[in-house]
Structure 1
Amino acid sequence: MFGDPGARAAWFERLLHNALVSTMVGEHRTFEPLGSGTLTMLAGKRGVTVGAAAHLDAPPAPERLREAGYRLATLTNSAGLRNFFEQALSADDVKRLKPPSEKLGVTTGDLWLVAAHPWAVTGAANAGCRTAFVGRAGKVLGPAAPKPDVTGQTLKDVAEGILAVEALG
């Protein structure tokens, strides 16, 4: 992003900061204005324009899981991947950072959360979800984090890992 490998992390940190502050003071702000506003701010500081795209390895992974019979829902805008998901659940709908499992009509223990954010995997594991961590460059789990059920370097690796775990029963 912006030709600077650290810019995406800076944007995400500032976005989380803004989301948590608005939640803590009881004035929920939807993701779109928070995310785009934060991105516009960073872009303005660098004198550039912005756009969003999925990682190149991403499209085959949800397609593979969907073909295997999994129901898929996304908790983000999933840049360029929306057509793979049955539902797009939004924190904006429930006015908290992660929507509840009942929005999908399943129990928490039946859910897999797949993320490249260590805190999301930790939160999901502590809530009772099965978890998969995408260990992209610069993404590492903290020392106190619960061990994910599946770990891979790419989303495709993680999708194959989920299928292998499920095949074992």
Structure 2
Amino acid sequence: MTNAPVTLFFDVNETLSDLSPVADAFEAVGATRDRAASWFASILRDGFALTSTDSDARFLDIATVNARDALGSSPITIPLDDAVDAVITAFSSVQLHEDVAPGFRSLADAGHRLFTLSNGPASNAERMLTEAGLADSMTGFLSVEGYSPWKPARAAYESALTRSETAGTAYLVAVHPWDIHGAANAGLSTVWVNRTKATYPKHFVSPTLTVETLGEIDERLA
């Protein structure tokens, strides 16, 4: 580790954003809360499949189609169109995990360059961080949309390095082991955020650092 400033790319969905309100939305329309997790997993599944076959993959388009499928097979209590709107609205309005603000502040104060890097639209990350008063901590907001395949494709991370004009040490910070694996294969160092004290899958490249909160990253870099 080093005291010198580095560039950190942060995954957005689940790494920065708390998706529990999405589970609340599924429950509010009559579906079960666990539908939210399977719905989000289906977005990743279909996005990975599309991008791996050189097809266009738009996060919110997939999310909307798959919400209709998930809710259409559930005993919902309101019309299907309204239920889909409720879920997408909840997803588009989520806020940051509690550890994000102090973690970002300490990293920015230490002089590190902070970027978001999402498979979804960059505007969602920008909204959350602006609403939390953290926009001034950020160097930029990046998405793969219009630039590269979805993460964990190597090109997604290489494109981020190029667009951010990163010449020195770079880290990818994520809760998803598949994202850690992809970034490591692209030559980045990695930080796995393990808020749930899970076991890291042995079939993926191990992270450079493991933390339970974003607030630990600054001192671990030092």
Aligning the two structures, in what range does the TM-score lie when normalised by the shorter sequence?
0.7 to 0.9
CA distance in 1: counterparts of 2:196 and 2:33, whole angstroms: 10
User: 5+ unaligned residues in a row in structure 2: which ranges?
Assistant: 1-19, 25-31, 77-82, 119-123
Residue 80 of structure 1: SS of its match in structure 2? Answer: helix
Point out the more displaced range, 143-152 or 29-38: 29-38
Tell whether 2:90 aligns with 1:90: no
Deviation at 1:9, TM superposition (A): 3.2
Tell whether 2:195 aligns with 1:146: no
Aligned sequence identity (%): 28
- State whether residues 193 and 213 of structure 2, in contact with CA within 8 Å, keep that contact through their aligned partners in structure 1: yes
Tell whether 2:77 aligns with 1:29: no
Deviations 1:56-106 (A, max 9, x none): 111111121111111111012437225242211111021311432111111
User: What is the match of residue 167 of structure 1?
Assistant: none
Deviation at 1:7, TM superposition (A): 4.1
Give the structure, 1 or 2, with the largest relative contact order (CA under 8 Å, sep 6 or more): 2
Which amino acid is the alignment partner of residue 96 of structure 2?
A
Which amino acid is the alignment partner of residue 130 of structure 1?
S
Question: Do the aligned partners of residues 24 and 53 (structure 1) sit closer, same or farther apart at CA in structure 2, a change above 3 Å counting?
Answer: same
Point out the more displaced range, 115-124 or 4-13: 4-13
Deviation at 1:136, TM superposition (A): 1.9
Which of 167, 170, 175 is matched with 1:116 structurally? 175
Once the two structures are superposed, the pairs formed by residues 151-166 of structure 1 within 5 Å of their partners are 151-162=210-221, 164=222
Which of 179, 185, 189 is matched with 1:130 structurally? 189
CA distance in 2: counterparts of 1:56 and 1:64, whole angstroms: 14
Number of equivalent positions: 162
Which amino acid is the alignment partner of residue 147 of structure 2?
V
TM-score with structure 2 length normalisation? Answer: 0.62
- State whether residues 197 and 212 of structure 2, in contact with CA within 8 Å, keep that contact through their aligned partners in structure 1: no
